[in-house]
Amino acid sequence: MKKDWSLVGSLSLIVVIAIIAGAVFYHSNKSSSSKNDSKSAATTVAQAPPTSDQIIKAINEKRREASLAPLASSSELQVSSQLKCDDMVKDGYFEHVNPNTKKQGYTYIFDSLPTAGYASENLESTPLASAKGIVDNWMGSTDHRNTILTTDYTLTGIAVCKSTQSDVYYIVEHFATLKPTLTPQTHGALCNDGTSSDSVGRGACSHHEGVDHYY
């Protein structure tokens, strides 16, 4: 039988083209999938909110630039800021005073740290933001900036929590300094014979039957 070589050649060419096209499609599909996977991974990383330690580090960087001592992280203020953050999420508000209970945010500080002398609170509401972005927002506000850069505070604690009503995070920073430790002042002594002495030394009532008590 006489073969039609032109037909055979055409069929072979079609087969080769089909193989090449399939390989190109597979490679293109694989590359697209890899890019999508990379994009998904990047999105996951970007959606993680900053930690309290990262924000405190950014705060202390601003204080360092202003030649101020860093704020120390306080476990009590971590608790107080978390309580305030949770309260805002629970009652669906974002402000220093709970509109339902009228509780001031800074009172959580004194609840958690009774020895606090001065206290203050900074709030921020933001979508996905870095620690630096959050602190930069605070630094753009005179009141927040003054709180961050004052020498009145030595302690801080920060909480980060997500709103259930919108796609934003609440950040609460609490500041405090401890009350000064006062040394009781002794002015004199009452002696056992009923007399008093202006002296507070060991011999205050040496000729009056000894010291009953100091005052």
pLDDT at position 24: 46
CB atoms < 10 A from the CB of 185, how many?
7
pLDDT at position 198: 66
CA atoms within 13 A on the CB side of 71: 34
pLDDT at position 205: 60
pLDDT at position 44: 36
pLDDT at position 108: 97
| Widest Cα–Cα separation across the chain | 148
Alpha-carbon span 109 to 122, nearest angstrom: 12
Judge residue 150's burial from the number of C-beta atoms within 10 Å of its C-beta, 0-12 exposed, 13-18 middle, 19 or more buried: middle
pLDDT at position 180: 81
pLDDT at position 38: 37
pLDDT at position 208: 58
Q: Which two structure tokens, joined as six digits, stand for 143? A: 């009141």
Query: Which residues does the chain have with pLDDT short of 70?
Result: 1-47, 181-187, 189-190, 192, 197-215
